[in-house]
Amino acid sequence: MEFKTWLDALIYPKETFRAEKERASLGDALNNIAVAGLIAGIVFGLISGLLLGLFGFVIGIIAFPIIVIISFLFESLIFFIMAKILGGKGDFSTQTYLISLLTAPLVVLSLVGLIPIMGWVLYIPIVLYSLYPLTIALRESHGFSTARANLTWLIPWLIIVLLLSMISLL
């Protein structure tokens, strides 16, 4: 895990993912996400500690990294299933590792959302931009076209939006 690689994944995704593909491992992916979750968890814990005392601090430091790891693996699994449906040839470890290089800095950058009022205004463009390196990571890990890589993340998100819309009508 190198912080420079995280930054390179955001700034130079094509070159970074191509170079990192051969080094991919599920253990390194989980390490990337755990470190990012711990960094964000410490900050979140400090803020929660101010509001909720020691309990908030402990929950932030322990729960936040665990939640980040579980949600990351779930998201990667959904992308992997969709990639296979679309004819992807990659494996789960490679895909998960490449996506972790992008997700880790996004987890840390999500702390921008804690800034009152302006935080989410600043974070939304970051999230929208992240779709570009996500597409590159999926394309590189599964060896398919940019269109299929886009569909790999777009179809699950459309399904989620549709389901949430239907639930909100109940």
In this predicted model, what pLDDT tens digit does every residue of 96-153 receive, in sequence order?
999 999 999 998 888 787 777 777 788 889 889 999 999 999 999 999 999 999 999 9
Give the C-alpha separation, 81 to 100, whole Å. 17
pLDDT per residue as tens digits for the range 72-95: 999 999 999 999 999 999 999 999
Full domain range(s) for residue 117: 3-169
* Per-residue pLDDT at 1: 59
Q: Please tell me the pTM assigned to this model.
A: 0.88
* Per-residue pLDDT at 124: 87
pLDDT per residue as tens digits for the range 17-50: 999 999 999 999 999 999 999 988 888 877 776 6
Enumerate the H helices of 53-117 as residue ranges.
54-85, 92-109
Give the C-alpha separation, 72 to 99, whole Å. 9
**What's the structural domain count of the chain?**
1
Give the C-alpha separation, 109 to 71, whole Å. 17
